[in-house]
Amino acid sequence: MVRYVTVGIDGSEAGRAAAAWGAEIATRRGLPLRLVYAWGIISAWEAPMDAPQHLRMTAEEKLTETGDAIAAAHPGLEIRRESPPESPVPALLDRAMDSDLLVLGARGLGTIAGFLLGSVSHAVVARAECPVLVVRADSAGPEGPAEVPGTARPICVGLKRPDRPDEEVLEFAFAEAARSELPLRVVHTRRSGGDGSRAGAGESTPEDPASRLEAALTPWREKYPQVTVEAVAIGDGAAEGLLTEAAGARLLVLGRGGHRLGALAPRVGAVVHAALHHARCPVVVVPHE
């Protein structure tokens, strides 16, 4: 089965930023890029008679515009363009099943200094069967494109339980750091009090609060010896501490576990929710068991 890096676009600035990130990642992974503009009518009662034709033409126009821009920036990248007559959430969830990564856009600053995730992005993040990357509209702003290889900005990954690490989350973070040739910062948010502690490669003692974290990372250091790893253990205030540690990062990688309320009412946890709305860098949410 062909695997894709899939990007949901809607003609917005956030959609264009998502497409740029998706293209860079697809190129690095050697995968085709799939651009999806779902234009299905949510409520036929409120739509004018010519709505389907107008929406389809808009979708095809934006796909052409975005696809041509990506092709010019990434010669040789295989690009597939799809404009399904479906609502965005089911269309994207369906395509997540044969995607290595699904990329979506966030809409910029909201009224409380956070980012407007949008109902579509939130629903897809909560349910998708593949990792979902959420990109801010200004992620390639005045500071320069975040996707330039070789920058010193680390990839940051949050780890909840060092004794039972979520392997899918660590695999994504280590593999992406290796492909990007970037350092990796692994942040464990502890419930116990005390000062946070940091450790470089191999710097851990039994008395160190980060010792369990270091033990959990040992097999991953061995699997990816080319990745420079910084381990960070912080105390209470998981969301705030994680966002602080992710400041200046290229990506923030987090896990999304099972649905507490069942398939009809999935939701993300408090830390993931805070990161999606307030992180200054793109956020990857990785589903895990």
- Alpha helix locations (H) across 76-187? 88-96, 119-127, 167-180
Secondary-structure class of domain 155-287 per CATH: alpha beta
Distance CA 237, CA 32 (A): 40
Nearest to 71, CA basis, from 114, 32, 116: 32
Residue of 215 and 201 predicted with greater confidence: 215
Lowest-pLDDT range of 62-76, 121-135, 157-171, 250-264: 250-264
- Predicted local confidence at residue 194, as pLDDT: 47
What lies within 8 Å, CB to CB, of 111 at 6+ separation is none
Tokens found for residue 162 = 């060092």
Q: For residue 141, is pLDDT > 50?
A: no
- Predicted local confidence at residue 28, as pLDDT: 94
Nearest to 132, CA basis, from 287, 23, 284: 284
Answer whether 4-136 and 155-287 agree in fold: yes
Residue range 36-44: mean pLDDT, rounded: 72
Contact 131, 97 (CB under 8 A): no
Distance CA 223, CA 216 (A): 13
- Predicted local confidence at residue 169, as pLDDT: 95
H or E stretch covering 279? none
Contact 218, 282 (CB under 8 A): no
Q: How far is CA 36 from CA 86, 223, 285, in A?
A: 11, 35, 20
- Predicted local confidence at residue 122, as pLDDT: 86
Tokens found for residue 285 = 């949410």
Contact 7, 53 (CB under 8 A): no
Buried-exposed string 82-107: b where 16+ CB fall within 10 A, e elsewhere:
ebbeeebbebbbebbeebbbbbbbbb
Q: For residue 245, is pLDDT > 50?
A: yes
Sheet holding 184-189, edge to edge: 79-82, 33-36, 4-8, 99-106, 132-136, 283-287, 251-256, 155-159, 184-189, 229-234, 197-199
Q: Which residue type does 152 have?
A: A
CATH topology of domain 4-136: Rossmann fold (3.40.50)
> Tell me: the pLDDT tens digits for 209-236?
568 889 999 999 999 999 999 999 887 6
Distance CA 48, CA 155 (A): 47
Residue of 172 and 142 predicted with greater confidence: 172
Question: Computed over its alpha carbons, how large is the radius of gyration of the chain?
Answer: 20
- Angle subtended at Cα 280 by Cα 243 and Cα 68, rounded to the nearest 5 degrees: 145
Q: Where are the domains of the chain?
A: 4-136, 155-287
